[in-house]
Amino acid sequence: MSTAPRIDIDVSAFWHDPYPTLARLRREAPIAFVPQLGSTLLCSRDDIYVCEKQIDVFSSHQPQGLMNRLMGHNMMRKDGEAHLAERKAIFPAVSPKTVKAHWTGQFQAHADRIIGALAPSGACDFVRDFALPFSAECLKSITGLTNMRFQDMNAWSQGMIDGIANYVGDPAVEARCRAATAGIDDAIDDMAPRLRGKADRSLLGVMLDCDMPMESIRANIKLAISGGQNEPRDAIAGTVWALLTHPDQLKLLMAGQIPWMQAFEEYARWISPIGMSPRRVAKPWTVRDVDFEPEERVFLMFGSANRDEKHFEHPDDYDVRRDTSKSIAFGAGPHFCAGAWASRAMVADVALPAIFARLKRLRLAGDEPARMGGWAFRGLLNLPVAWDRDA
């Protein structure tokens, strides 16, 4: 175990709102062992920025980790050449050029269809009725698993997310995760013969074309679903909520004074949808005055780094005018999110401008307040909204 100071936390309170605890850790023990999570947490933006790049020490390769055991050995849990080879293999499906030329038009079609169906109602739960299906339909297109229902895409993504964050070992959570991965395997088996040799640009298509082993294809598709559904879903709903609760900032965007991309980037800093990434210590190492031993588990707390007072003034405030260049919401090292360009296009290029253009006078509604939860993965659980229906 590391020599980091031992800090106890209230796990339930941490799930509901991790930021007070993370702020205390940054002040008192920016590297701390938290027994309730069985890990040493790195909470300083500077420590994370440096350590994430030291893959020979803080390794993503975690043979006994929850992700490997439950989802298979994907590129996120590989380092060096092994990681780079699989990253290069999927790049044709998610490159900035492909996103702009191929996927953005499909994203727009999904958005137009879903908003068109919602518009006459004048009210909805925005998480359930737009952010969830839109993210899932876009992800169906990108993965090539167009044979899935969007409800299954979301449920199976959530099942895997819960499974790989199941550090307390709840057997029911693990069972749901295993059921999700089995469902995805069936969908892959159904689509693979249809896409093989078809010059398809989806993740499944490009991995089949480069003859990646089927075991790796399955693992990487599951990786794409586990992060590719919840992050855009939560970022879309969350950014809409942030803007509706900061109407002065929404006016800047509606007037074209601030780009939609900046609203998204600031939300990703403020409420990091993916708030943590685990690492395995590969060899004895010291960070400042804390010694680490091999095989320890370390959590890189992106959600803390993005509120680090050393880099962000008034970090607990949402401010679209902020310089977000120091944010590491998508990572800072060789494991920088491969889907970042697709996510940015979905949220900032398509969803946000379409929503505020077509749902007139969009506003919070109802008696039920918006609720948020999670620390490893954080997002809104609901968002009741209303708008003016066309006369």
At 111-150, the pLDDT tens digits run 999 999 999 999 999 999 999 999 999 999 999 999 999 9
> E-assigned strands of the chain?
31-34, 39-42, 58-59, 123-125, 277-281, 285-287, 290-292, 297-300, 363-364, 372-373, 379-380, 384-386
Q: List the beta bridge partners of residue 300.
A: 42, 277
> What band does 84 get if pLDDT is binned at 50, 70 and 90?
confident
Q: Compute the distance between CA of residue 239 and CA of residue 249 in angstroms, rounded to an integer.
A: 11
At 225-244, the pLDDT tens digits run 988 888 999 999 999 999 99
Radius of gyration of the chain (CA): 21
Instruction: Please give the class, per CATH, of domain 11-386.
Output: mainly alpha
Residue 76 and residue 223 in contact, taking contact as beta carbons nearer than 8 Å: yes
At 41-52, the pLDDT tens digits run 999 999 999 999
- Among residues 165, 181, 271, 263, the alpha carbon closest in space to that of 218 is found at 181
At 296-355, the pLDDT tens digits run 999 999 999 999 999 999 999 999 999 999 999 888 777 677 778 999 999 999 999 999
Residue 139 and residue 156 in contact, taking contact as beta carbons nearer than 8 Å: no
Residue with tokens 């979905």: 346
Domain regions of the chain by residue span: 11-386
Residue 7 and residue 25 in contact, taking contact as beta carbons nearer than 8 Å: yes
Residue 384 and residue 364 in contact, taking contact as beta carbons nearer than 8 Å: yes
